[in-house]
Structure 1
Amino acid sequence: MQLILQNIAKHIMLSPEEQLLFLSKVNTQQFKAKSILLNSGDICKYSYFVNSGILRSFNINDHIVEHVLNFATEGYWIGDMYSLLSQKPGNLFIEVLEDAEVVFLSKEKQEILYKEIPKLERFFRILIENSLVANQERLMDNLSLSAEERFEKFCGKYPTLIQKVPQKQIASYIGVTPEFFSKMKARLLRK
């Protein structure tokens, strides 16, 4: 549980008592690759923190095409923000890509923690703000950068995923077809 406490300490300081209280409100579970933590159409009840392994959030459109929204590696949070905040059915799946240890924080316990440790509201506000900025940057990148430039940014953000994640998922994340991605990668390797 040290990793999640280190993650929190990047933004706020918790006393030892507050750390224990926080840890009493979360659950940790091991998952095998290909486990689904959240299905599209379900209400997201948890924020997920990755202690180890890799998770991804994605949706599937009417033409059965997957669109990867995010990857979460060790030390990252992931969830369906729309569903978690609105408590309405979401449109994301959250899947374990590599065996993982995941920390769950339920929305109800998070609300209790806000009352018992008010500075945690600041921590989660910072996470949401950072997520909003990252999503806006990604949207702008998708509108203005070439596929090669988006792939380079992906490699910079997720350097360890290149060898661990299927190419079709990387292609989906950067917004190209697997066929185009394969040709682009071959062209980049020739340079």
Structure 2
Amino acid sequence: MFEKIHDYLSRFARLSEQEIKIFENSLELRKIPKKTILLHAGEICNFEAYINKGCIREYFVDRDGIELTLQFATEDWWVSDITSFEDQVPSDMYIETLEDCELLVLTRQAKENLINEVPQLERMFRLMIQRHLSKLQKRLFKTVSSTAMEQYVEFLDRYPALSQRVSQQYIASYLGITPEFLSRLRAKHLKNG
């Protein structure tokens, strides 16, 4: 259950056996069926979750009622609404499981206790947020500076297996295009090799 997250931890910190046990005891294993909304817009996010198994999407609904996918998260990634979690303000987004998921969940209180007991984990969480921010900035830049085809190719390069796990509707939503336009892009991409 903790094998993947131990590998994740080892990239950021060297912990003693006792510190690793404290970390493990702070996490709650949750098995969540697919199509479960973990967070609704308007709620305060009270978790950060490491994805041991499964696929999740974060999205918001615009004023016209259209769902816009912000990101996908799969194994070895964390999911949360950072702003809502840290500032304890209502979320603007939804977090939904797209597959059956196995999550290691850290509540806000458990995280505070954990950082007090194992201070070097604060560095891990800081680097985790920096990594997340970096990915979002790159995505924003690509969104405003690339063609739809370039964004689609970037998506395939960045997430090679995801197109087999996620519906084309969600991929189109992520790219900010219609499913019909995505079908045309896919056909053109396949034709051009």
Q: What range describes the TM-score normalised by the shorter chain of this pair?
A: over 0.9
Q: TM-score, normalised by structure 2?
A: 0.96
Give the whole-Å Cα distance in 1 for the aligned partners of 2:49 and 2:69. 17
Post-superposition Cα deviations, 1:9-67, rounded to whole Å, max 9, x if no partner, equal: 11111111101001111101111110111111100000011100111111111211111
Give the whole-Å Cα distance in 2 for the aligned partners of 1:69 and 1:13. 33
1:87 aligns with 2:88: yes
Q: Which residue of 1 aligns with 2:106?
A: 105
Q: Which residue of 1 aligns with 2:159?
A: 158
Q: CA offset at residue 72 of structure 1? A: 0.9
Q: Structure 2 regions of 5+ residues with no counterpart?
A: none
1:172 aligns with 2:176: no
Q: Which residue of 2 aligns with 1:40?
A: 41
Q: CA offset at residue 114 of structure 1? A: 1.1
Give the whole-Å Cα distance in 1 for the aligned partners of 2:183 and 2:82. 32
Q: CA offset at residue 183 of structure 1? A: 1.0
Q: Structure 1 regions of 5+ residues with no counterpart?
A: none
Q: Which residue of 2 aligns with 1:139?
A: 140
Give the whole-Å Cα distance in 2 for the aligned partners of 1:37 and 1:71. 14
Give the whole-Å Cα distance in 2 for the aligned partners of 1:5 and 1:89. 32
Q: CA offset at residue 131 of structure 1? A: 0.8
Q: CA offset at residue 3 of structure 1? A: 0.9
Q: CA offset at residue 172 of structure 1? A: 1.1
Give the whole-Å Cα distance in 2 for the aligned partners of 1:73 and 1:106. 20
1:66 aligns with 2:56: no
Aligned length, in residue pairs: 191
Q: Which residue of 2 aligns with 1:186?
A: 187
Q: Which residue of 2 aligns with 1:49?
A: 50
Residue type matched to 1:150 in 2? Q
SS of residue in 1 equivalent to 2:100? strand
Q: CA offset at residue 158 of structure 1? A: 1.3
Q: TM-score, normalised by structure 1?
A: 0.97
Aligned-residue CA RMSD in angstroms? 0.9
Residue type matched to 1:77 in 2? W
Q: Which residue of 2 aligns with 1:18?
A: 19
Q: CA offset at residue 182 of structure 1? A: 1.1
Counting aligned pairs with the same residue, the percent is 36
